[in-house]
Amino acid sequence: MFTALVTILRDNWEWRKQIGRLAIFDLIKKSRGAVLSWVWLLLKPGIMVFVFWFALSIGLRIGDDMNPPFFLWLVCGLLPWFYMQEMLSGGSDVFHRYSYLVNKIKFPLSGIPTLFNISNMFVNITLILVLLGIYFAHGMPLDSYLLQVPLILIVMFIFFNIYATLTSLLSGLSKDFANLVKAFMTPLFWVSGIFFDVSKVNIEWIQTVLLFNPVTSFVTAFRDAFYYKTWVWENPSMLGAVGIVFLVTFVVMLILYWRLHEEVPDAL
């Protein structure tokens, strides 16, 4: 297992320039051929935010009495979700998506989730800057709680890199696993606390289960920093659950990488 960790770190360091260039190329490829080009990377999330805001705030009259406004609370959950959605769904099958790197270039397996992650993190950081703009537009203060945001982004990047490596190993051997992950995306979206406050769920065991959902944890962390103005360590239950999920995912990934990384290229 330790050998797998050393291999992953060494491959990512030695191939860092190629990983960076491929991540930028992947980002450019997403908008190539479109008249609006880069605007599409923000337009699609913007449309989704507007639709949900209109349905919940205008249609259902949710959040009329909230101060700060409900719209800020909503985007604190939705904008980070767009990155997590890409990593949960697309990240679970990156070895198939970039199979040419493995079969033709002999690119290190562990570098493929990293380049996909970097590409999506660029978009995520742009969306977080948009969130900051919305935050200040609502008259919110520049305070020390916002210092948590870079730390949250770093933890997100590391966790979803581990997740993408783990799930892509399984998807590389069985396409059914990637299909299974995609089948759970819609249920995950609705139960992860993006549209409700997990702390207000009055069924204790459901609250406990949701604490072990990384999507819930990251959405809660963003809302703590931008909306509720609390520090993430003020919620020790959530931190403990995140730590357990992080550690288990990391250990399982190392074990599977050590055992399967030589088999995946043949399966692809």
Mean pLDDT of 1-18: 86
For 20-49, how does the pLDDT look when each residue is reduced to its tens digit (9 = 90+)? 998 988 887 776 655 456 677 788 888 888
Query: How confident is the model at residue 129, as a pLDDT?
Result: 92
- At 226, is the pLDDT very low, low, confident or very high (cuts 50, 70, 90)? very high
- At 268, is the pLDDT very low, low, confident or very high (cuts 50, 70, 90)? low
For every residue of the chain, which 3-state class applies, written as one string?
CHHHHHHHHHHHHHCHHHHHHHHHHHHHHHHCCCCCCCHHHHHHHHHHHHHHHHHHHHHCCCCCCCCCCHHHHHHHHHHHHHHHHHHHHHHHHHHHHCHHHHHCCCCCCCHHHHHHHHHHHHHHHHHHHHHHHHHHHCCCCCCHHHHHHHHHHHHHHHHHHHHHHHHHHHHHHCHHHHHHHHHCHHHHHHHCCCCCCHHHCCCHHHHHHHHCCHHHHHHHHHHHHHHHCCCHHHCHHHHHHHHHHHHHHHHHHHHHHHHHCCCHHHHC
Rounded CA gap, 209 and 212, in Å?
Answer: 6
Query: How confident is the model at residue 164, as a pLDDT?
Result: 93
- At 64, is the pLDDT very low, low, confident or very high (cuts 50, 70, 90)? low
Domain locations in the chain as residue ranges? 2-267
Query: How confident is the model at residue 32, as a pLDDT?
Result: 63
Q: pTM of this prediction?
A: 0.91
